[in-house]
């Protein structure tokens, strides 16, 4: 097995916030990942390459060893099955919260302590089901791939489970947060076999990233 380490990253928030961290760890893409059409980018370190994929695909690439390491939101990790995947480090970036939200006119007369059955639109089906099952609340979940904030406005669901950062998107759509599910940040994940087979190279890189987080 080669000693080149592949790191899976997603464009958008994660990449944007990861670039300074990667630079501190001595990893600089040879070209701009936001504009390049290449999906495998060289870095200035000949032993490190970056793989640019969709955020939700990062756990899959790492799980199958197509990438040795990956940067993934905790929200994405909670939804993935996570076999052969190790969460090594909180990268302390792309912070947000996973929450339950509902229209403000519903919130005015709603009490979460009385919830018994909820109709929820979300992209986080597994996490939502587990969160409410643990509290003995039944859920009818409508799976969406984005723009969850729209669902209550058009009567698709009463409530949503989504991520919030500033709260501006919720407010702009007349929604309010009524329950907190989890604090989210990006995590460094590693493939289990890579940790063994490429032990020295992967461990050294993880060490550099850990120092860069500090
Ligand atoms: O775009 P693509 O479909 O490929 O994937 P993606 O939408 O998951 O990617 P991206 O880049 O949007 O998000 C990647 C990761 O960033 C997520 O998995 C989270 O871990 C993290 N993150 C941090 C966020 C946010 N903050 C966030 N605010 N992801 C999404 N949002 C959305 C949220 O869903 C809501 O629609 O931003 C909106 C709310 O923002 P505020 O500031 O108005 O509250
Ligand atoms: Mg997006």
Are 52 and 11 a contacting pair, CB within 8 Å? yes
Per-residue confidence (pLDDT) for residue 81, from 0 to 100: 87
Identify the structural domains of the chain with CATH numbers, from first to last: 5-94+185-213 (3.40.190.10), 96-183 (3.40.190.10)
Take atom 20 of ligand 1 and give the residue whose Cα is closest. 73
pLDDT of 141: 98
Please give all residues whose beta carbon lies within 6 A of any atom in ligand 1, as ranges: 10, 12-14, 54-55, 73, 75-76, 94, 96, 162-169, 184
Ligand nearest to C-alpha 12? 1
Q: What is the model's pLDDT at position 1?
A: 56
Compute, in angstroms, the gap from residue 20 CA to the centroid of ligand 2. Answer: 20
Burial 177-206 (b: 16+ CB within 10 A, else e): ebbebeebebbbbbbeebbeebeebbeebb
Each residue's pLDDT, cut to its tens digit, for the chain (214 residues) gives 578 999 999 999 999 999 999 999 999 999 999 899 999 999 999 999 999 999 999 999 999 999 999 999 999 999 998 788 999 999 999 999 999 999 999 999 999 999 999 999 999 999 999 999 999 999 999 999 999 999 999 999 999 999 999 999 999 999 999 999 999 999 999 999 999 999 999 999 999 999 999 9
Instruction: State the pTM of this model.
Output: 0.95
């Amino acid at each position: 097995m080669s000693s080149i380490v592949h790191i899976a990253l997603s464009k958008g928030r994660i990449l944007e916030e990861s670039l300074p961290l990667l630079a501190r760890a001595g990893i600089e893409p040879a070209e701009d990942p936001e504009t390049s059409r290449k999906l495998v980018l060289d870095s200035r370190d000949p032993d490190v390459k970056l793989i640019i994929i969709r955020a939700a695909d990062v756990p899959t690439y790492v799980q199958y060893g197509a990438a040795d390491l990956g940067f993934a939101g905790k929200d994405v990790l909670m939804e993935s099955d996570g076999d052969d995947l190790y969460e090594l480090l909180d990268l302390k970036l792309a912070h947000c919260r996973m929450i339950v939200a509902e229209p403000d006119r519903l919130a005015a007369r709603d009490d979460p302590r009385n919830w018994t059955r909820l109709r929820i639109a979300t992209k986080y089906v597994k996490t939502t089901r587990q969160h409410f099952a643990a509290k003995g609340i039944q859920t009818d979940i409508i799976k969406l791939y984005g723009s969850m904030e729209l669902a209550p406005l058009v009567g698709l669901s009463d409530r949503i489970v989504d991520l919030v950062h500033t709260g501006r998107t919720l407010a702009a759509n007349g929604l309010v947060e009524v329950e907190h599910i989890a604090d989210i940040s990006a995590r460094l994940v590693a493939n289990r076999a890579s940790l063994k087979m490429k032990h020295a190279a992967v461990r050294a890189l993880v060490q550099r990233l850990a120092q860069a987080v500090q």
